[in-house]
Chains A and B, each alone.
Chain A
Amino acid sequence: MPVIAKDKPASKPKIRKESVSMPKQKPEVRKHNFNEVALGYTEDQAVSEAERCLQCPKPQCVSGCPVEIEIPAFIKLIKEHKFDEAIIEVKKKNSLPAICGRVCPQEEQCQKQCVMGKAGEPVSVGRLERFVADYEMKKGVKTPPKQESTGKKVAVIGAGPAGLTVAAELVKLGDEVVIFEALHKPGGVLVYGIPEFRLPKKIVAAEADYVKKLGVSIKTNSLIGRLFTIPEFLENRFDAVFVGTGAGLPQFLRLPGENLGGIYSANEFLIRVNLMKSYAFPEYDTPIRIGKKVAVIGAGNVAMDSARSALRLGAEEVYIVYRRSRAEMPARAEEIENAEEEGIIFKLLTNPTRFYGDEKGWVQQMECIKMQLGEPDASGRRRPVPIEGSEFLMDMDTVIIAVGRTPNPIIQRTTEGLETTKWGTIVADDETGKTSLEGVYAGGDIVTGEATVISAMGAGKRAARAIHEYLMNKK
C-alpha cells in the first residue's frame, strides 16, 4: 500500500478519482483538419491534475518510465506553480518532453504503475509532461551551459527518437556529436510517420532544435552506407558510432494486384502526408490521391494514423480491415477511441486476399475472406483462421497497407562484421547497445523491430551511458 507523504495537510479536500480530462477538438470538426486533436491543459487544469499526485515516497511511476524521469518531483513543482522548475526537472532525464508528452503510451508505462489508478484514474503524467514542455516552448527554450569537451567524437546515424536522445545525452557529458540523417529533415518517424494532428511538426522541429542548441550537429541528406560507411567513420573521424536507423522498410501482403495504383504502403502514405505535407497539395509539390472508399489493412497505431489521415484528406468511408478481433488490436486504446469517434469503420476478422483494378491500373475492388479465431499462436494471441468459402468483395479505390515495418537494411548491407538477426535487426546488448563491432552501438527499432518512440529513447539513453564509459576508458 502506498504511504502518503506526511507533509500533506490533513485538511485538504478529498482527492478526485478522475483525472482532469484533456480538452480536444470535437470529432466532427477535427476530422476535416490536420490541426492537433488534443489541445493541452491550461495552467489551472495542470495544477488541478498535479494536485491528484499522492507524492508516494516509493514512487512506482518512475520505474515504469524508460528514461527514468523523476515524475513526482516535477508534478510537485507544477502543483506549486513552479512551471519553469518543473521543465528543468523533466529535462534532466528527457530532452524531448513535448514529443513524449504526446506520443508515449503512458497507460502502459508510468501511468500503469500509478497507485491512483487502482481505485480510479491514474495521474495523467503524459499530459502534465506535455504541459510543462509546451509552457517552456511558448516562453522560449533555455539551453543549459555547454559542458567542457572530452575531445571524443561520436557519429550518430539517424535523427529519430533513439538518435536524438543518445546525441543529447552524450553532448551533455562533453562528447562531440554529429548526427547523420538520411532525409532532409531531422526527426525520423516523428516527422515522416506520426501525423500532424497527433504530433505537430513544429514541435518536432523545436525539440530537434533544442538538441542542436545543446551542441549537437545534425547533417541531413546523409544516407550512411552510401555517403559514408561505419568503417570509414571509425578509421579517421569518430571514436564511436551509434546506429539508430529505425524500422522504416514497409511490409507488403504479397497478394495478387498489390502493385495497382491507389495501393500505398502506410509508410508511403504517411511520408507523403506528413514529411512532404501533401495534404496541402498543390501548395506543396508532393501529391496524394485519396478515393471515396479507403481500406487500411492492419490495426496498429500506424493503421489508426493512416485511417484518420485518409479521413482528413476527404475520404467518405474509411475502413480498418483486421484479421483478428477487437481484443487483439495492437493500437493504443486512446487511438482506437479517437478513430471511432471520427467515424472510422472497423471491419474485424477480415483479411484481404487479392485486389482488382480498372483498365488504367487503379485499384477498384478488394477481395476479402472472413476469419475466425483459433488456438493461441507464438505471440499468445489467438490465431486467425480463414473461414473457407467466405470470400466477398468490397469496392475500394484506395488501400493502405499498415501491417508493420522491418528494419532499414542499408547499414547492415554495407557494414562488414556487424551481426544481424534473420529479421534484419542488429544484434545489440539490451543494457548497453553494444554490437558485434568494437565502438559500434545500436538502439531503437533497428535492434528491437518496430516498437515505441519512448523505448527507442530509453535505448538511446542507456547506450549513451555505455558509449561515454567506453570513450573514457579507451586508450
Chain B
Amino acid sequence: MYKIVTKRELAPKIKLFEVHAPDIAAKARPGQFIILVAGETGERVPLTIAYYDAGKGTVSFVFNEVGKTTKQLGCFNEGDNISNIAGPLGVPSEIKKFGRVLCVGGGVMTAPLYLQVKALREAGNEITTVIGARIEDLLIFEQEMKDASDEFYVVTDDGSKGFKGLDFLKELIKAKKFQRVIVMGPVITMKTVSEITKPFNIPTIVTLTPIMVDGMGMCGVCRVTVSGETKFACIDGPEFDGHQVDFEELVKRQRMFLPEERLSSMLWEKLGGACHSKR
C-alpha cells in the first residue's frame, strides 16, 4: 500500500499526488516513470515521475482527469492508499553538461520536465524553458519553472497568455544555438518541436507515452518505430531521438482503445463515480 501524503490541485482537473514510497524515492531518476494500479479491478497506468524526495521517502506525479482511472484517482484524498505502485521504470534521462539546453513542456508533462530542468541546470547547463497549455488556466509549474530557468517563456494555444503557438521557437533557436532540446508533452507538441529543430540538427529528446500494460517489456503494446526499428517505450525508452520517431504511428496506436476508454469513463460518471464510492 502506498499512502498519499499530499494532494494538490494545480489547475482544473490537474492534480498532484505525493505518495509514500521510500524504495522508489531512493532509486528514482529524472525521466523515469511509475505504474500504478488504483484498486482490485484497476488498470495499470503509467505516469512520469514529477518529483522524488529520498529523505522524505516520497514520489510525486501529476495527472489530468481525462479517463476513468484518472477521474477515480482524483477522488482519492490525503491519507488514502493506492494499492500498487511499481517503479522506477524506464531508462533515466541523460543528465550532463551539454551547454545551452532548450526545455519545452506541454500540459501535465510540464511537471516531470521541471525535474529535468533542475537536474540539467545543476549539471551546469544554461536553461531556456518554454511551457505551454491550451489556455492560461491550465498552465502548471509556472513560477517553479521560471525560478529554475535562465530564460523562460509561456505559450498557449489560444494566445491567452504568452506566445500563441510554437512558431516563435524558430527564431529562438536561430538566436540561441542550443546544444540540446528536451520536449515533454502531447505528441503534437513533440512532433512540432522535432520538426522545427531538425533543420538545425539539434539533438532533440522526446518522452513517449504510448499505451502500456505491464510497463516492463512483456507485452509490447508500447512499441514505437524509431529509425525504422520497433522499440519498446517501456524498457528501451521512454526517451527517444525526436527526429527518428514515427509520430503518426504513435498517434494511431495511442487511440487504439479510444471507444473502450470513453465507455469506461462514461460509466464511471453515470454510475455515481463522482467521488461517491470513494467518500
Question: Which chain A residues have a beta carbon within 8 Å of chain B's beta carbons?
Answer: 182-184, 192, 220-223, 226-228, 248-250, 252, 254, 258-259, 261-262, 264-265, 267-268, 271-272, 276-277, 280-287, 289, 360-362, 408-410
Most B Cβ at <10 Å: residue of A192, A267, A282: A282
Q: How far is the CA of A183 from the CA of B89 in the complex (A)?
A: 12
On whether the beta carbons of A286 and B213 are closer than 8 Å, the reply is: yes
Mask: chain B, 16-42; 1 = CB below 8 Å from A; 0 = not: 000000011001000010000100011
Known: A259-B225, A285-B68, A286-B44. A248 touches B217 (CB 8 A): yes
Q: B214 — which chain A residues lie within 8 A by C-beta?
A: 182-183, 192, 271
The reply on B148 being an interface residue by CB < 8 A is no
The reply on B164 being an interface residue by CB < 8 A is no
Quick one: which of B21-69 are within 8 Å of A by CB?
23-24, 27, 32, 37, 41-44, 68-69
- Give A63 Cβ to nearest chain B Cβ, in Å: 35
Known: A267-B218, A268-B220, A409-B217. A184 touches B86 (CB 8 A): yes
On whether the beta carbons of A283 and B41 are closer than 8 Å, the reply is: yes
The reply on B188 being an interface residue by CB < 8 A is no
On whether the beta carbons of A265 and B220 are closer than 8 Å, the reply is: yes
Known: A228-B23, A276-B43, A277-B41. A408 touches B218 (CB 8 A): yes
Given contacts A221-B87, A222-B23, A277-B41, 17 further A-B contacts (CB under 8 A): A183-B86, A223-B86, A223-B216, A226-B32, A227-B24, A248-B216, A249-B218, A250-B220, A252-B230, A261-B253, A271-B214, A280-B41, A281-B260, A282-B263, A285-B264, A289-B257, A361-B255
Mask: chain B, 65-88; 1 = CB below 8 Å from A; 0 = not: 000110000000000000111111
On whether the beta carbons of B216 and A410 are closer than 8 Å, the reply is: yes
Question: Which chain B residues have a beta carbon within 8 Å of chain A's beta carbons?
Answer: 23-24, 27, 32, 37, 41-44, 68-69, 83-89, 213-214, 216-221, 223, 225, 230, 235, 249, 252-253, 255-257, 260-261, 263-264, 267
Known: A221-B86, A227-B88, A261-B256. A276 touches B44 (CB 8 A): yes
Chain A residue at minimal CB-CB distance from B39: A285
- Give A423 Cβ to nearest chain B Cβ, in Å: 16
Q: A280 — which chain B residues lie within 8 A by C-beta?
A: 41
Interface of A is mostly: loop
Contact of A182 among B41, B86, B219 (CB under 8 A): B86
On whether the beta carbons of B27 and A268 are closer than 8 Å, the reply is: no
On whether the beta carbons of B41 and A285 are closer than 8 Å, the reply is: yes
Contact of B217 among A184, A254, A285, A408 (CB under 8 A): A408
Q: B221 — which chain A residues lie within 8 A by C-beta?
A: 264-265, 268
Q: B84 — which chain A residues lie within 8 A by C-beta?
A: 184, 220-221
On whether the beta carbons of A271 and B43 are closer than 8 Å, the reply is: no
A–B pairs, 18, beta carbons within 8 Å? A182-B214, A221-B84, A223-B87, A226-B32, A227-B23, A228-B27, A249-B217, A252-B220, A267-B219, A284-B43, A285-B42, A285-B69, A289-B256, A289-B257, A362-B256, A408-B218, A410-B216, A410-B235
Q: B37 — which chain A residues lie within 8 A by C-beta?
A: 184
Q: A282 — which chain B residues lie within 8 A by C-beta?
A: 260, 263-264, 267
Contact of B213 among A226, A252, A272, A361 (CB under 8 A): A272
Q: B23 — which chain A residues lie within 8 A by C-beta?
A: 222, 227-228
Q: How far is the CA of A222 from the CA of B263 in the complex (A)?
A: 32
Contact of A192 among B43, B69, B218 (CB under 8 A): B218
Chain A residue at minimal CB-CB distance from B42: A285
Q: How far is the CA of A258 from the CA of B220 in the complex (A)?
A: 11
Q: How far is the CA of A289 from the CA of B253 in the complex (A)?
A: 13
On whether the beta carbons of B235 and A271 are closer than 8 Å, the reply is: no
On whether the beta carbons of A226 and B85 are closer than 8 Å, the reply is: no
